[in-house]
Amino acid sequence: MNKVLGISGSFHRNSNTDTLIKTIMEATKAEYELIKLSNVNVGYCIGCKKCVQTSECIRNDDFKWISKKMLEADAIIVGSPVRCNTVTAVMKTFIERWNSFIHVEQHPLKDKLAVGVVIGWTGIKPTVEWLTKVALGGMGGMKVVGAVTAQGYHGSFTCGNGEKCPRSAWNMGKIIEMMMNQDIGIEKMCEGRVEALPDNEPLTNPSYKILDSSYVSVRDQPDAMQKAEEIGKIIRVKLQNNVV
C-alpha cells in the first residue's frame, strides 16, 4: 500500500493546517500519518558539514526516525501557518535539517510527490513560494503537485488590547507594507473585520474599530477544502498509475 506522510508546523491542536493536510492525505486513500513538529524534538542544523559525504545527518534526535519515514513515503504533505511572513520556526528548523539529503548524486527524495499547505492572511504568497520552490522542489528534490492555502485566525484582533492597540495586525501590517512598498494582504485581511477611523495613523495614533474577531475555520472555507481533496485525488491517481 502507498504511504503518505504529513508534516505540520502548526502548534494548535486540530488546527487549520492539520485539517488541510489530513484532508489531502485522506483523499489519497493511501496509508497515512501526520507528524506535528511541535510534538517532537528536532534540533537546529549546526552546519557541521558531516552530511556532505553520506547525505545523512549525524545529530541524534527525532530527525533520525522522521527522515526514515520521509524516505519510506510515496508522497509528503508539508504544512505551516504563516509567521512573520514565512513558515513557523519549527518548520524552518526541520527543513534546514533535510538539507542533509542534497549531497549524493541521486537525491533520495527525488521520486516523492509533494504538496505545500499554508495558513494565514498576510504573507501567503512568499511563504507558498518558498515552501514549494525552495524547500520541497529545490532542496527537497521532490515533485511538487501543488499547494493549498486558507485563512487563519486573527491573534492581533483578540489579544484584549482593543481598538487603541498600536500593534494591531492592521497597524503593523500597514507599516510593513509601507516599508516593503508592497501589498502584503492587509486590506483583504481586514475587510469586514476592522474599520480604520479617519484619524487613524499607524503606530502614532491608532484609531480603528474591530467589527469581527471570530476564528475562521478552514471547514468554513469550501474552496480550500475542495482544493485539498482534489490534490489528494491527483496524488491517488498518480500513485495508482505509478506516474511519479
Ligand X SMILES: Cc1cc2nc3c(=O)[nH]c(=O)nc-3n(C[C@H](O)[C@H](O)[C@H](O)COP(=O)(O)O)c2cc1C
Contact 40, 66 (CB under 8 A): yes
Nearer to ligand X, 172 or 244 (CB): 172
Cα dihedral value 197, 179, 85, 160, nearest 10: -30
* Piece in contact with ligand X (CB under 6 A), picked from 28-36, 62-70, 102-110, 148-156: 148-156
Contact 204, 193 (CB under 8 A): no
Place of cell 472555507: 221
Under the binding rule (CB under 6 A), the answer on residue 83 touching ligand X is yes
Pick the binder of ligand X from 28, 122, 168, 171 (CB under 6 A): 122
- Cα 133 vs. chain centroid, distance in angstroms? 13
Contact 244, 238 (CB under 8 A): yes
Site string for ligand X, 184-213 (x = CB under 6 A): ------------------------------
Pick the binder of ligand X from 2, 17, 23, 149 (CB under 6 A): 17
Pick the binder of ligand X from 5, 6, 16, 228 (CB under 6 A): 16
Contacts of 4 (CB under 8 A, 6+ apart): 25, 28, 30, 31, 32, 33, 73, 74, 75, 76, 77, 235
Under the binding rule (CB under 6 A), the answer on residue 6 touching ligand X is no
Pick the binder of ligand X from 5, 6, 15, 157 (CB under 6 A): 15
- Cα 16 vs. chain centroid, distance in angstroms? 10
Under the binding rule (CB under 6 A), the answer on residue 85 touching ligand X is yes
Question: Which spans in 135-197 are helix H?
Answer: 155-158, 169-180, 186-190
To ligand X, the closest distance from the beta carbon of 149 in angstroms equals: 10
To ligand X, the closest distance from the beta carbon of 181 in angstroms equals: 17
Residues 123-142, interacting with ligand X (CB under 6 A) = 123
- Residue 197 DSSP symbol: -
To ligand X, the closest distance from the beta carbon of 24 in angstroms equals: 14
**CA separation for the pair 214, 227 (Å, rounded):** 24
Pick the binder of ligand X from 120, 141, 202, 206 (CB under 6 A): 120
Under the binding rule (CB under 6 A), the answer on residue 67 touching ligand X is no
End-to-end CA, the chain: 15
Under the binding rule (CB under 6 A), the answer on residue 81 touching ligand X is yes
Contacts of 155 (CB under 8 A, 6+ apart): 169
Q: Which residue is nearest to ligand X (CB)?
A: 152
Pick the binder of ligand X from 47, 155, 192, 222 (CB under 6 A): 155
* Piece in contact with ligand X (CB under 6 A), picked from 65-73, 79-87, 194-202, 222-230: 79-87
Q: Which residues bind to ligand X, rule: CB under 6 A?
A: 10, 12, 15-17, 81-85, 119-123, 152-153, 155
